[in-house]
Amino acid sequence: MWTRTVNGRVLHFYLAGINNQNFIMRDKETGSWWQQITGRAIYGPLKGSTLELVPSDELTFGQWKSEVSNGRVLAPVAKYVKEYDSDWEPEVAKLPVVISFPGTELKSRDIVVGLEIDGTSRAYPWDKLVKQSPVVDRVNGKPILIAVGADGKSFRVFVSRIDGKDAEFFLKGESESPTNASPADAKTNLGTSTPGTAAAAASGVTKTPSNTPSPEKPWLLLDTTTASEWNFQGCAVSGPAQGKCLDRIPALKDYWFDWRNYHPATTVYKR
C-alpha cells in the first residue's frame, strides 16, 4: 500500500494498464503513470517521484477477524457485482509471462515473499516459508523473523530483536530434548541451517518441527533470549518480555518473475 500524497499534494489514482502483468496507475491531477510494485512514477510530470510505503498485512479474513473485532470490510459496488471475477488468478496463471529469468533457481510463477532493507533485497520461496516457519535470517546486517500463521496463508515479517539484542524464535509446541550442542555449533549463516535449528542448538535443545497448531494448542512463538511467548502480531503475551512488540518490516508476496524484474540484485533464501 502507498500514500496518495506527493509533496503535500493529494492524488487520485485509477487503473491505466498492465506492464509485465503488474498494475499501472495514473493520477488524475498530473496524468503521471505509476508502477504498482515500486510506487514510483515512470512517466509524466512526476516521473521519478516515489509514493511513501504504508505498512500493511496480507492475512486471511479469518486471521484478520480474530485480531480485529470491529473492523470494516470493503464491499463491492452493487451495480458492478456481476462484472467482478471471483476466481481470476487461475486463469492469469495460465498466461505466458512477458519477462523470464532462465538459469535462476526459481520458476517464473513461483510465489515468493520479497523484502528490501536499506537497498538489499531478498526473496523467500513461499513453500519453504510454510514448511520452515518461523524463519530467522539476516539481511544487510539486520536480524529478521518471518512467521507464517496457523492458517498457512497469512504471514508477517519482524525485526528479530528484543531490547536491542538479536533474538531467535521457534514455534511453541515443537518437541524438544536435551542436547550437548554448544552455541558455537549453531550455524546461522544463510544456507547452512534450518531456521530455528540454530536457535535450538544455542539454547541446548534439538527440535522436531510441528507447524500445525490446534485449537487446544494456540499459535505462539518462544524466543531463546527471554523464553517469552509471542503471538502472531509480534507481541509478547507472557514472560519477561510481556507487553513488548517486535518492529515490523514491510514485505510483498509476489511472483518470482515480477519480484526479480524490479529487484535485479535480489538474492534468494536458501536453507
Give 125-157 pLDDT, tens digit per residue: 999 999 999 999 999 999 999 999 999 999 999
Q: Which range, 48-57, 87-96, 181-190, 238-247, has the best average confidence (pLDDT)?
A: 238-247
pLDDT tens digit string along 156-197?
999 999 999 999 999 997 644 333 333 333 333 333 333 343
224 contacts 169 by C-beta, under 8 angstroms: yes
CA 151 to chain centre: 15
93 contacts 109 by C-beta, under 8 angstroms: yes
The CB density around residue 105, as the number of other CB atoms within 10 Å, is: 11
Average pLDDT of the residues of the chain: 82
**What pLDDT band is residue 88 in, cutting at 50, 70 and 90?**
confident
The CB density around residue 208, as the number of other CB atoms within 10 Å, is: 9
The mean pLDDT value for 101-110 works out to 89
Q: CB within 8 A of 177, min separation 6: which ones?
A: 205, 206
Percent of the chain scored above 70 by pLDDT? Answer: 83
Question: Greater confidence, 166 or 52?
Answer: 166
Give the residue carrying C-alpha cell 518492529: 247
Torsions phi, psi of 256, nearest 5? -60, -45
Amino acid 220: pLDDT? 96
Nearest in space to 157 (alpha carbons), one of 252, 37, 263: 252
151 contacts 211 by C-beta, under 8 angstroms: no
Domain at 111-252, CATH from 2.30.42, 2.102.10, 1.10.10, 2.60.120: 2.102.10
pLDDT over threshold 80, residue 120: yes
CATH 2.102.10 residue ranges for the chain? 111-252
pLDDT over threshold 70, residue 204: no
Query: What's the whole-model pTM score?
Result: 0.78
Amino acid 216: pLDDT? 54
Cα distances from 88 to residues 42, 82, 91, 94, 241, in angstroms, run 27, 14, 6, 10, 44
Cα distances from 33 to residues 18, 29, 154, 197, in angstroms, run 11, 11, 31, 46
What is the sign of the dihedral through the CA atoms of 112, 155, 60 and 213? positive
The mean pLDDT value for 223-230 works out to 95
For 5, half-sphere exposure in the C-beta direction (CA atoms, 13 angstrom radius) is 4
Give dist(CA 258, CA 270) in Å, integer: 19
